[in-house]
Chains A and B, each alone.
Chain A
Amino acid sequence: MNEIPVTMTVNGEDRAATIEPRLTLADYLRSECGLTGTHLACEHGACGACTVLVDGAAQRSCLVFAVQAQGAEITTVEGLAEAPGEPTAVQRAFEDCYGLQCGFCTPGFVVSVTAFLRDNPEPDDREIREALSGNLCRCTGYGGIYAAVRQAAAELAEAQGGAS
C-alpha cells in the first residue's frame, strides 16, 4: 500500500499515523483524530468551513494533504479555548450576537476571525467585511457575524488595555 507515516501536533498533542497521501488534513483531523469540529462542505476551497490554523496561519484544511503537515502545529476550533466550558471572546461573541443558526459554518468563521483579530486588532468596517468574505454562511445573513467580530474586537482591546 502507498501509505506514509506522518507526525504533527494537534491542539498541543503529538499525533502519529500512517496514512494515504491523498487524505486531506481535514479528513485526517476528523477521522484519525476524532476532531469533528472542522467541517467539510465544498471540499475545494470555496466555503471556508474547514479552516484551521497551520503553524498559526488560517488555512483551508481541505486544500492541504495531511502528509504535507509533517512536523506542523495544527490548531482546530476545539483547541482555541483554554478549557472546556471557557469559550474565547470570539466564541462568546458569536453566541451573544446571534452569529450562528445551524452552526455548520461557525467553526470556520471562529478560526478565521480568531486569526484575523490577532493580526489586526483594530479592524475597520471594510477590513472586517473583506476578512469575512472567505467564509460562507447559508443561514444568518452575516449581520450577526459582523456584530460578533465587532464585539470580540472591543473585548480583546479592553483585555489588552486592562492587562498593560
Chain B
Amino acid sequence: MKAAPFRYHAPSTVAEAVDLLTEHGDEAKVLAGGQSLVPIMALRLGRYGHLVDLNRVDGLRGVEAANGHVRVGAMTTQSAVEHDPMIADRVPLVAAAAPHIGHFQIRNRGTVGGSIAHADPAAELPAVAMALDAVMEVGGPEGAREVRAADFFTSMWTTSLADNEILTAVRFPVRSELQGFAVSEVARRHGDFALVGTACAVSVDGGGVVTDAAIALFGVGPTPVRAASAEEALVGTGPDADLGEIGRLALSGVDPNDDVHASGDYRRRAGAAIVARALGTARDEARGGRS
C-alpha cells in the first residue's frame, strides 16, 4: 500500500522545524530515518498532512565526547554508532545494542533519535538509555530543555516530548574502568524485535564486589523498565552471587503480555534466563577491566 498524500518540508534549522511543527499542530509529524514512520504510513495506520524531514537540519548528526559524556546527535544513524570506535570504547552498551536493531539496510537509515523518540517497548536503544540514565536534549518553541531517560518514556510509543518538540541529541555517560555491559534478547530471528530483552551495566570494586548495577528490561510492558529490586540485590555480592535468582527477581516485578509470538509466562521465564546471562557477561567484563 502507499502512504496518503502529505506536504513535505525540509527545514535546515531546529528552529525552523519547531516553527513548522507549531504551525501545523497534530497534522504534522517529524520524519527521521523513516524506518518506523514510513511503514506506519504505507499501512495507513497513520496519515499526516505534513512531514517535517530532519535529514537536512544542521547539527543533528554526529558523535562527540564532552566532560564525562558522549553526545550523540539525534539524526546519527544506527550504523554510525554501531561502527564508531569512540562509541565502542566509551559507551560500549550502545555498541552492543546496535547490531540487534533490524538489519544493516535498516540501520543505514534508522537513527538513534528516531528509535528513542519512537519508544517502541521492544526496542533496544530506549532500554539502553534507561540503563545508562541517559539525558535527552530537546528543542522546542521555548528553546532547549533536558529530560532524564526515566522521565522520557511515558507509555507505549509515547514520550514526554510535546507535539512541537524535537529530540536533538542523547547524552550517554562514559563508562568507568570497573564497569561491564551486556545486551541480551530472545527474538524469533536475528533482526526481529525482541520477545524479551535486557540491557545491563555492572560496576565492581577492586575486590570484584558489585558496587552498582543497572538492569533495564524491554518487551515486557508499555515502556522499558529498570528492575530496581534485582539491582539492589546484586549490589554487595561477590562472584558467588546466584544470578539465576537475581534474574527471576528482575522479572517478578513485571507483567508481560501474551501475544501471538509468546505468552507472558514464557517472556518471564526467558527474561529471567537472559538477565542472568547478561549480568554474568557484564560482571566478568567489569572484573576483567580491573588492572
Contact = CB atoms under 8 A, between A and B. Distances in A.
Interface string B193-235: 0000000000000000000000000000000000000000000
Given A22-B4, A130-B190, A44 B105 contact: no
- Classify chain A: how many residues form its interface, as a range: 20 to 34
Given A44-B43, A68-B55, A63 B34 contact: yes
B270 interface: no
A73 interface: no
Given A21-B51, A45-B39, A63 B109 contact: yes
Contact of A60 (B3, B99, B109): B109
B261 interface: no
Given A59-B109, A62-B42, A134 B6 contact: no
Contacts of B105: 48, 51, 58-60, 112, 134
B109 A20 contact: no
B121 to A, nearest CB: 19
Contacts of B106: 45, 60, 134
Nearest to A67: B8
Interface string A25-56: 00100000000000000011100100100100
Interface string B76-95: 00010000000000000000
A129 B191 CA distance: 11
Interface string A68-96: 10100000000000000000000000000
Contact of B104 (A4, A58, A62): A58
B172 to A, nearest CB: 24
Contacts of B39: 44-45, 63
B35 interface: yes
Nearest to A46: B39
A112 B42 CA distance: 23
A65 B35 CA distance: 11
A98 B163 CA distance: 51
A20 to B, nearest CB: 7
B102 interface: yes
A48 B79 contact: no
Residue from A20, A54, A134 with most neighbouring chain B CB atoms (10 Å): A134
A66 to B, nearest CB: 10
B281 interface: no
Contact of A63 (B38, B43, B55): B38
Interface string B95-139: 000010011111011000000000000000000000000000000
Interface string A1-19: 0101000000000000000
A64 B190 contact: no
Given A45-B35, A59-B105, A134-B102, A65 B8 contact: yes
Nearest to B34: A63
A20 B104 contact: no
A45 B38 contact: yes
B168 to A, nearest CB: 20
Interface in B1-45: 1-8, 10, 31, 34-35, 38-39, 41-43
Contacts of B51: 21, 65
Contact of A43 (B1, B109, B190): B1
B284 interface: no
Residue from B41, B103, B106, B109 with most neighbouring chain A CB atoms (10 Å): B103
Nearest to B1: A43
Contacts of A65: 8, 34, 38, 51
A1 B53 CA distance: 20
Given A133-B190, A134-B103, A20 B38 contact: no
Nearest to A71: B56
A115 B109 CA distance: 14
A45 B38 CA distance: 9
Contact of A133 (B7, B53, B55, B191): B191
Contact of A2 (B7, B31, B53, B189): B7
B75 to A, nearest CB: 13
17 contacts: A4-B8, A22-B3, A22-B5, A22-B6, A24-B2, A44-B42, A48-B103, A57-B108, A63-B34, A64-B109, A68-B31, A68-B53, A68-B55, A112-B104, A129-B190, A131-B104, A133-B190
